[in-house]
Amino acid sequence: MVDETSLVDETSLVDQLGQAVDCLRQGGVIAYPTEHCFGLGCDPSNEAAVSRLVAIKQRKLQQGVLLLAASLSQVEVYAELKSSPLVDTIEASWPGPHTWTLKPTAKSAKWLTGDHASIAIRLSAHPICVKLCTQFGGAIVSSSANRHAEPVLMNDDEVENEMGDELDFIVCAQVGGAKTPSRIRDGLTGEVLR
């Protein structure tokens, strides 16, 4: 786990997270540090916000998006975790940089799953991600901060330079220490998808 005190001044972090959560609640798109790189996020229940995030990334809505959560209860709003035969393995892998595709609940709208029959979700260990989801009161969309097929952006300066004009807020703090993106695994078979 990342030492939160090394990321940013605590007062600044509290202010930034409050502004970021306000943006999420108002249908905005934000950028924030994750375990590996910067991510783009929005309220998963807001179709217009998800569509805007996908447009910023220049990718297709049919590809679906990944969700990030701070607790199992947040996961279970969007994914039928208990119906997975690998539920114990999944829960043992969290919190951490492990994304699983699971059977979606009725709350997982088509704009989240795209053309997939499952929803991709992870329970993060990064302290800023955890605080964002906790203060927001639910899971958020988490997609790497980059244009489709372009390199991921690793800090707030890169995000500002590349797409700052299109975002509503950028949380200025450091990414975690993961050297690679989260591994994505099938929640029914355990197969590694990425």
Q: Which tens digit of pLDDT belongs to each residue from 7-30?
A: 457 778 899 999 999 999 999 999
Q: What is the pLDDT of residues 22-81, one digit of tens each?
A: 999 999 999 999 999 999 999 999 999 999 999 999 999 999 999 999 999 999 999 999
Domains parsed from the chain with CATH numbers: 4-186 (3.90.870.10)
Query: The pTM is what?
Result: 0.91
How would you classify the pairing of strands 30-33 and 169-170? parallel
Classify residue 166 by its DSSP letter.
G
Q: Of 125, 124, 110, 8, nearest to 60 (Cα)?
A: 110
Taking a C-beta distance cutoff of 8 angstroms, is the pair 50, 44 a contact?
Answer: yes
Counting Cα atoms < 13 Å in the Cβ hemisphere of 94 gives: 24
Mean pLDDT of the chain: 93
Q: Is 27 left (phi over 0), alpha (psi -120 to 50) or beta?
A: left
CA distance 17 to 110: 28
Confidence tier at 184 by pLDDT (50, 70, 90): very high
- The alpha carbon dihedral of 96, 57, 81, 186 has a sign of negative
- Per-residue pLDDT at 67: 98
Confidence tier at 128 by pLDDT (50, 70, 90): very high
Confidence tier at 111 by pLDDT (50, 70, 90): very high
Taking a C-beta distance cutoff of 8 angstroms, is the pair 50, 65 a contact?
Answer: yes
Can you tell me the mean pLDDT for 89-108? 96
- Per-residue pLDDT at 2: 40
**Any idea of the CA torsion for 22, 27, 30, 33, to the nearest 10 degrees?**
70
Q: What is the pLDDT of residues 79-98, one digit of tens each?
A: 999 999 999 999 999 999 99
Taking a C-beta distance cutoff of 8 angstroms, is the pair 111, 61 a contact?
Answer: yes
